[in-house]
Amino acid sequence: MTAAGPVTASSADVLREADRRRTFAVISHPDAGKSTLTEALALHARVISEAGAVHGKAGRRGVVSDWMEMEKARGISITSAALQFAYGDAVVNLLDTPGHADFSEDTYRVLSAVDSAVMLLDAAKGLEPQTLKLFDVCRHRGIPVITFVNKWDRPGRDALALCDELVERIGLQPMPLTWPVGVAGHFRGVLDRRDGDFIRYSRTAGGATAAGEERLDPARAEAEEGPEWTRAVEEAELLAASGGDFDLARFRDATGTPVLFGSAVLNFGVRHLLDLLVELAPRPTPRPDVNARPRALDAPFSAFVFKVQTGMDPSHRDQVAFARVCSGVFERGMVVTNTTTGKPFATKYVQQVFGQQRSTLDVAYPGDVIGLVNATALRVGDTLHADRRDVRFPGLPSFAPAHFAVARPADLSRAKQFRKGIDQLESEGVVQVLRSNRRGDGSPVFAAVGPMQFEVASHRLSAEFKSPVRLDPLPYTVVQRLVDPAQRALVDGNRSEVLTRADGADLALFVDNTALGVLRRLHPEVVLEPLVAGNG
C-alpha cells in the first residue's frame, strides 16, 4: 500500500515498465571526466537547467553527483552516486562511480547493479591502468560497454591509434558510431557513420548549457570543412574495411564496443550518447539467484542492496540503502523480508535519488534503483523480497585488503560515538573492519584496498560522529584466508595474527612472505588460501 492506495500491476505492466528502464554506470580512470559527463547527461535530459563546474574551479558550482565535502575539496569522486531521470519515454538510472583505484570496491559493487556501462577514455591518455581493470571486470560480468572518447576539444592522440589500442590491449573490437572531424584540440564536430551526415557543434558560455548542433549533408560538409571532412570520411571507410561497423550482437555479448567522440565539459556529443543509450543499451533481464536460476521480471518483488550511505543529509544523519529492483513492483509502505536475517523490513521511507537531492518514491520496477531511508538493519549484499519462498541473490565480493591500521579514539570521552561510527563505516563498506579477542572492540583494525580509504574513514568519524580517530599503521603485507578457525592459535604470533571480518572470514595477516614461509614449515597442517584482489 502507498499513500495513494495500492498499485495494481499486471505481468504485462511490469514487463512494459521494465522495458523502459536503462540502468548503467559511468566508469573510468580518475580525472577522465565522469562526474562532468554525468551532469552533462542530466543537462541534455533537461532535468537540470545549468551544468555545474569542472572540479577545482573556485567560485563555481559543483557537479550534482559529487556532494561530499571531501569530494568538493579534492575534486574527485570518492563514493558512487545515483541519478534517476526520464528521457523521452525511457527511465534512466545512472550511477556515477569513483575512478580512483583506492575506491575500487565501491565501483565494483555498482557494476553488479547495472545492465551496461559507459567507459570514458581521455583523448590524450587512452587506456590507463584503472581503465584496463574496469574493462576486464565488465567483460568478466558480461556487461556491454559503450566507449566515449572524452576531451576531444584538447590536444590528444590520433583517433585511429586509440581504436587500435582497444584491439591490441584488451581484445575489444571498436565500432565507432561517430568519428571526429578535426584532430584532437581542433574539434569541429563528428561524422555520423550511420547516415553520413556531419554534426557541427557550437560552444556555449562555459559549457553551462546544451551545445548547439547543426546537421549538414556530406556535400555541404565537404564544401565548408574541406580537408578535415575528407580525412574523416577516408578514416571512416578504413574502419568499415577493417570490421569496425556496428554489430549489435557484439555489443550485447561484450566483445565489441560502440565508440563516440566528444567533450563532456562543452557538451559536445553528449546528446548523441544519451540517444544511443536509450536505443541500444540492454533492458533489465531475469537475474540469476544464488542457485543460478533466473528470476522472472514479473515474479513478486525482489531486490538486492549494493550500497549503503550515511550523511547525505547532514541535518538528519539518516542512512540510505541503495537497492536494485530485480523483479516485480515495489510499492512504498510494503513490508518485505530481508533474506539475510529472515526478518521483516518496513519500507515507509523510500526515495528517488538525484545526487544529494531526494524525493519520495511510491512505485518502482525492475531496473530501478531505490533509496531505502533509515535502513540501519540493511547491509551491502542483502536480498529483499515479497515472495512466499525465500529469494537470495549472490553476495557481493569483498576485496583483498593491502593496507592495515589499528583505529583508536583520540578522545576517550567519545568512545561511544567512536564505536557507533565504526559500525556505520563497516556497514557501508567504507573500509573493512577486522576484529579479534586479542585486540578487543576498542581497537578494531581498518583494512583497505588503498590508503585514501583511511583518510575518508578518519574524516567521516571526525566530521559526522565528532570522534577524532588515531590510526596506527600495521606492518602486514601478505593476506591469506584461514580455512579452519580452530587453527587460529597456530597463526597468531609476533609477525602474524588472525583477524575476523564482518562476513565471518578469518584473515591471516603476515609481515612478509618470509613470515608466511616460516609458519608453513613449522605448521604444515595449517590450511591457508590466498585472497585474490577483487575477490576477497
DSSP state of 412: G
The answer to whether residue 91 scores a pLDDT higher than 80 is yes
| Amino acid in the structure at residue 93 | N
CATH topology assigned to domain 287-385:
Elongation Factor Tu (Ef-tu); domain 3 (2.40.30)
| Amino acid in the structure at residue 143 | I
Least confident of 101-110, 185-194, 226-235, 269-278: 101-110
Class of the CATH domain delimited by 403-530: alpha beta
The helix/strand/coil state of 299 is coil
pLDDT band at 104 (very low <50, low <70, confident <90, very high): low
Q: Distance (Å, rounded) from C-alpha 155 to C-alpha 177? A: 22
Q: Distance (Å, rounded) from C-alpha 27 to C-alpha 107? A: 8
pLDDT of residue 67: 38
Going by C-beta distance under 8 Å and a sequence separation of 6 or more, which residues neighbour residue 406?
439, 443, 444, 445, 446, 471, 472, 474
Angle subtended by helix axes 227-241 and 159-170, to nearest 10: 20
The helix/strand/coil state of 260 is strand
**Fold: same for 11-280 and 403-530:** no
- Residue ranges of the annotated binding site for GTP are 96-100
* Cα pseudo-dihedral 421, 423, 429, 431, rounded to 10: 70
Give the total residue count for the chain: 536
pLDDT band at 245 (very low <50, low <70, confident <90, very high): very high
**Structural domain boundaries of the chain?**
11-280, 287-385, 403-530
Distance of CA 264 to the CA centre of its chain: 19
Do residues 116 and 282 lie in contact, with contact meaning Cβ atoms separated by under 8 Å? yes
- Residue ranges of the annotated binding site are 96-100
pLDDT of residue 348: 85
CATH topology assigned to domain 11-280:
Rossmann fold (3.40.50)
Q: Which three cell numbers stand for residue 534?
A: 577483487
* pTM (predicted TM-score): 0.77
Q: Distance (Å, rounded) from C-alpha 2 to C-alpha 7? A: 8
Q: pLDDT (tens digit, 9 = 90+) per residue, 395-414?
A: 876 677 889 999 999 998 99
